[in-house]
Structure 1
């Protein structure tokens, strides 16, 4: 990632990690239209010209991150910049520069390193007698006939590497029934040692928030076990393992987490205020095994305010469906930003591709959005699951685990969105869709749209030859133009 230092004594490049490339200038040229290429601009001197170039400075904050020495330049006097604080604008004092360089190395890396997860199927148990695996979603451990107070212990097959001066978090999915108890143990090894240097024991109540590991002096490897005991049952799901940005966020600086504490299921969102002009674009990431956001640079190019939302559950997402609590949190975030921006609902645009298209239409319909833009749309999950058996066997089998994961009857759950569209009128909603003519996921899409087209203000659809995962380039360009 390229860093531009503006003014002050030039930073010793040896203090920066090798992934950074440092350039130095005495003053910031606001007319330079190449400033967007820097992942971070570090300002260590006064900028008197900012008074006359405030619009250009705001535009720059919509394209890259800026860190500034608050004792050299007072940006607090510009209320227009307050909306960028914590997402693309960060302050520090000059005498904290050494600390700030450490923060840059640890937390301001380019792109998204994404998160990962270890499936519950990567856990080896000492006793499989009372275990029921629900596909790849979770394992149900029944302790109701545990007369001998037997302890069931699971050990993760693989260790979790934690780089020096990098923060990583752990978030397990589990649910307790009756008087069951849960205990996790983290065995910490230093550097390349095979000796356990520290053991951290945590029970279920300790995991109200993710547990973070961070060591400035050495790399770590963490091995884990889980002990299940008591009377009742336990449902164990995946262990989420993510590189974090410390106090600044998880995947992107300024992002935030939505969680239903009863199910421990999460979504993440990122908000950029942009130019404060409508519409508010909400982009739902598609299915992806690496946790993180999609669409960041595409939304930046638009200039308008935007929200990115991502679903890290199961292998690559659960179509953004969940409990009423979790789904309502998404509605509330979008409605809250509309209110802050003083936008009408007709100035909301929901966007998504593939799995994200389902979420875009679902949320657009429930929030009465003015526009929905879909790519490779998936609307009827019953058709997807039917095709997973007959049209593309052994492909996207994870959809079989969704109903188990959400504890719902799949047929009823899958019919939610098609039925909602059929039973409501969206006369003020514009509908833009780019689809594959030979889609092998939701192959009934064209029929569904033709049957419901009178329910929307207007529909423009663009068909491309190919199956669901084909021909993405032209389709994405069409969506950007929409």
Structure 2
């Protein structure tokens, strides 16, 4: 594993008085490291008021990520130091110093990792006598009829737990009022065996499985227990590296959950230089549960929000009642935090992310939307899976089934009606203050009419529409699209915000 590099500025050198964990490299008042091109610090400790030039503060800001800065009481410093602490969302250290230092490997490690285990990875108990109904690959509906706790399903293969990591779990399920559920995790490492069990009351929020933090391989098995009488639906079991309250996926990451649907939206805010605009980037479809675009957006030095949808295999296009309510609230909260308004808001996304960027960009009356490979006809995407893209992106059926009012009627008529419903919602938004910047693939095999329909309904209504095309199908020339995406950001920031 990569070493965790810690820079302490000010005060007495803690490495001389405290026990530094293995794998932690300690630097004390070493400002020369700011000029080392590839040097980055996983943690910055400010132990006193510092006398540094504006250039040094900027160099330091480039070497450490927000939420990975702590400062001691009395170390708020002068105006420059306070500005730095605000930009990095620094945290006041109140705990015992040795306890804090000892926990550094668990809190400030490098990287993010998460997976979603679908219901098809579980085996239903051989004693189960009820009905089974698959909702495509998204969920499995079962019947519960027992007065006592009984095993309902178990994971077919054990889960590997990365060395020196613990896992946070968020299972997705729904059931009738007379049904109860609990999850049991059994850990095996060497000859040792430990059991951890979570009730539904505990699972009202993500839970950390308190496995030993060791360098050896560990394996988890999962068993689902139920009791009661009624229907239950099992969805994904979401697992991610634990951050122990400091964040989701990475330090500073947040997650909001809806306890009824078990939907979850994750977001990360970087204050940048605290100057307009606020740039919001919606993640594309990706099976690895994580934040996308972190370093790409950070290089712009602007305040930005990363928003991700980790439902299903790799995302559900930011759809559904919970997302429709939560996403605008997240954006509004951060606009208010920065003292900005909607004219200082830029929304963006690539592929799946364009659906969120366009929908919420119009709804929020954003100054600009930047969308590469736009997707708006979610019914068409599913319909074209049969002939245009056989055996590719089967999740489109899961998504369409979720969105259609009568989910058992998944046919061409219902898919066309779904498309029309989406377009009707878009064209009723006031686009007069929004500039749309769109890049499409000439032979897009997911949503070939997205650009034409957006132009038809928004040309003359939007403040401006700019579009650009590249040869190829939807998943072709991603590098070319990313270059266009970054050029549009550069242009909007320069021309509209003087950056």
- After TM superposition, the score normalised by the length of structure 2 is 0.84
* Residues 1:33 and 1:382: Cα distance change in structure 2 (over 3 Å): farther
Matched residue of 1:359: which SS?
A: helix
Aligned residues of 2:87 and 2:273 also touching (Cα < 8 A): no
Matches within 5 A, 1:171-250: 171-189=170-188, 191-193=189-191, 196-197=193-194, 199-216=195-212, 218=214, 220-250=218-248
CA distance in 1, matches of 2:49, 2:201: 50
Q: Is the 1:167–1:244 contact (alpha carbons within 8 Å) kept by the matching residues of 2?
A: yes
In structure 2, the residue matched to 1:329 is 326
1:91-130, aligned counterparts within 5 Å?
Answer: 91-92=92-93, 96=97, 98-112=98-112, 114-126=113-125, 127=128, 129-130=130-131
Contact 2:176–2:230 (Cα < 8 Å) also in 1: yes
Partner in structure 2 of residue 48 of structure 1: 50
CA drift of 1:466 comes to 1.0
Offset from partner CA, 1:271-302 (integer Å, 9 cap, x none)? 11111211110000000000011111111111
Structure 1 residue 264, shift from structure 2 partner: 0.8
Give me the whole-angstrom Cα distance separating, in 2, the residues matched to 1:200 and 1:152.
15
SS at match of 1:281: strand
1:59/1:288 CA distance change after superposition, 3 Å = same
Q: Which moved more, 1:329-338 or 1:449-458?
A: 449-458
Residue of structure 2 equivalent to 1:384 = 381
In the alignment, which of 470, 475, 479 is matched to residue 481 of structure 2? Answer: 475
TM-score by length of 1: 0.87
Secondary structure at 2:385 match in 1: helix
1:445 partnered with 2:447: no
C-alpha offsets along residues 403-431 of structure 1, whole Å, 9 cap, x if unaligned?
44457456354444322233344122111
- Count residues in correspondence: 467
Determine which of 463, 468, 481 is the counterpart of 1:462.
468
Aligned residue in 2 for 1:136: 137
Question: How far, CA to CA, are the matches of 1:94 and 1:210 in structure 2?
Answer: 24
- Unmatched 5+ stretches in structure 2: 407-413, 489-499
Please name the residue that 1:362 is paired with. 359
SS of match in other structure, 2:386? helix
Asked if the contact 1:6/1:25 (under 8 Å) is kept, the reply is: yes
Aligned-residue offset at 1:25: 5.9
Show the counterpart of 2:83: 80
- Report how far residue 383 of structure 1 moved: 1.8
Q: Describe the SS at the equivalent of 1:455.
A: coil
CA contact (8 A) 1:383 1:444 kept: no
**How well do the aligned residues superpose, as a CA RMSD in angstroms?**
3.1
Q: Structure 1: which 4+ aligned runs deviate by more than 6 Å?
A: 147-150
- Deviation of 1:216 after TM superposition, in Å, equals 5.0
2:5 maps to what in 1?
A: 3
Q: Which digits, 9 at most, give the CA deviation of each residue in 1:138-179, with x for residues without a partner?
A: 111124xx4898956211112233345423111111111141
Relative to structure 1, the CA distance from residue 175 to residue 34 in structure 2 (aligned partners, 3 Å threshold; closer, same or farther) is same
- Name the counterpart of 2:318: 320
Question: How many angstroms apart in 1 are the aligned matches of 2:165 and 2:157?
Answer: 19
What is the CA distance between 1:318 and its match in structure 2?
0.2
1:28 maps to which residue? 31
Q: Deviations over 1:1-42 (max 9, x none)?
A: 562534654859x95565x6x474644259x45567404253
Aligned twin of 1:302: 300
> Matches of 1:110 and 1:35 in 2, distance apart?
18
Note if 1:159 corresponds to 2:158.
yes
